[in-house]
Structure 1
Amino acid sequence: MSMSPAPKAGPAVAANSVDIKEFAFGPQNITVKVGTTVTWTNDDQDPHTVTSQNGSGPLKSKTLQNGDKFQYTFTKAGTFNYLCTIHPFMTGTVVVTA
């Protein structure tokens, strides 16, 4: 039984945790319900952040070192785009549904 790796992009998946690994958020796009706490875990040796794009959203982590976690509880529906401010090519999206 072989397991194929999850695609880096594509439709949002239902999850409440995101791994930061190999300079990517995985899964890149997730869908959660209002009231869900999402946890990001840095599994890279390099530091990363989880920051709302354009500075206009609720996500603003400290710099996460290897093994650090960042949690945020989404309290309203919407689409929340985020990036790593250190490596801005790293992006992700959380879609929050009612």
Structure 2
Amino acid sequence: MTDPQSWLRWVRSQIHLSPMEFRVVTIGLFLFLLGGLFYVWPNVKMVKLAYDFQAQQRLHTKLLREHTLLQLERDSLLSLDRVQYLAEHRLGMQEPRPEQIVTIFVK
């Protein structure tokens, strides 16, 4: 029964149908399965899209949280009080004395 032709002969001998009836039944079953596939496929696709959407929502939420934290960090790093503190204590800078100020006039 390894040969496809012998398998078909065996099936035909078991169900006792004429070749024409066998073709009609085979085509009918094929069309039924094809119709079932067309009926089920959109639902399968919708479930996959729902899973993808949920994954994208989780990623979006995570990125929004990270964005908020980065904005807070940026704001704290750019705060004028912090910049002044670092300039005075870490870099040893101080306010310029009046004789250190040079005014440049541009024509």
Relative to the length of structure 1, the TM-score reads: 0.17
Query: Going by fraction, where is strand more abundant, 1 or 2?
Result: 1
Query: Going by fraction, where is helix more abundant, 1 or 2?
Result: 2
User: Which of the two has higher C-alpha Rg?
Assistant: 2
